[in-house]
Structure 1
Amino acid sequence: MDKNTALLALAALGQGTRLEVFRLLVRAGADGVPAGEIASRLGTVQNTMSAHLKVLDHAGLVRAERDGRTIRYVADMTGFRDLLAYLMEDCCNGAPELCQPVIQAVTCKC
């Protein structure tokens, strides 16, 4: 990941509704959530939600998957991993024990 891609992802997550959408999709896992249901769950107007989803998709943080006539959105964990890796790229400066608390905090306990 380069600096501009990281900035795009961070800007996408820097807006409250988009952050809520991303967290909702992370919780949903591989099944994702239909677009209309995302708007319903978060109490957002459908066309506004569509714009938010487009920003997240463009930033590489979510992806749309067609399921018959429904479009489901799923958190793109590869994009998220790449963002975390970029942010931690220069972590530790040769002292891995400094990064261990961060790594433990982001490690799934499921």
Structure 2
Amino acid sequence: METLEAIEALGALAQETRLEAFRTLVQHEPEGLPAGEIARHLSVPQNTMSTHLAILVNAGLADSRREGRSVIYRARLSAMEGLIGYLLKDCCRGQACLPEAEINQGQCP
């Protein structure tokens, strides 16, 4: 992941409704959810939710597909893994210590 991609992804998630929408999509993997159902779940007007979902798609954090009259959204878990990897890639001064860091409550050896 490049710096500008990370900034766009973080910016997309830096809004409460979009963060909750992404978390909702993660909970409904791998089948995904229709936009209307996400809107109802989060108590957000459907046209507003469509805008938020478009931002997540443009940031590479979600995908959409049409099924009949519905648009089904899915979280792009690989994109989130890439973002987390980008944020942690220089952990522990470049040493490969992440698994040990997790075991030691975040402390590098």
The more displaced of 91-100 and 6-15 is: 91-100
- Structure 1 residue 68: Cα displacement: 2.3
Name the structure 2 match of 1:96: 97
RMSD: 2.1
Name the structure 1 match of 2:58: 58
Q: Whole-Å Cα distance in 2 between the matches of residues 69 and 99 of structure 1?
A: 48
Q: Whole-Å Cα distance in 2 between the matches of residues 99 and 43 of structure 1?
A: 41
After the TM superposition, list the runs of 4 or more consecutive aligned residues in structure 1 that deviate by more than 3 angstroms: 97-100
Name the structure 1 match of 2:38: 38
Instruction: Point out where structure 1 has 5 or more consecutive residues left out of the alignment.
Output: 105-110
Normalised by the size of structure 2, how large is the TM-score? 0.87
Checking the alignment, whether the CA contact within 8 Å between 1:92 and 1:99 is kept in structure 2 is no
Cα separation, partners in 2 of 1:11 and 1:29, compared to 1, 3 Å: same
Instruction: Point out where structure 2 has 5 or more consecutive residues left out of the alignment.
Output: none
Q: Secondary structure at the match of 2:28?
A: helix
* 1:15-42: CA deviation from partner (whole Å, max 9, x where unpaired): 0000000000000011001000000110
Cα separation, partners in 2 of 1:97 and 1:81, compared to 1, 3 Å: closer
Cα separation, partners in 2 of 1:69 and 1:99, compared to 1, 3 Å: farther
Checking the alignment, whether the CA contact within 8 Å between 1:91 and 1:99 is kept in structure 2 is no
Instruction: Report how many aligned residue pairs link the two structures.
Output: 104
Checking the alignment, whether the CA contact within 8 Å between 1:33 and 1:74 is kept in structure 2 is yes
Name the structure 2 match of 1:108: none
Flag the structure with larger Rg: 2
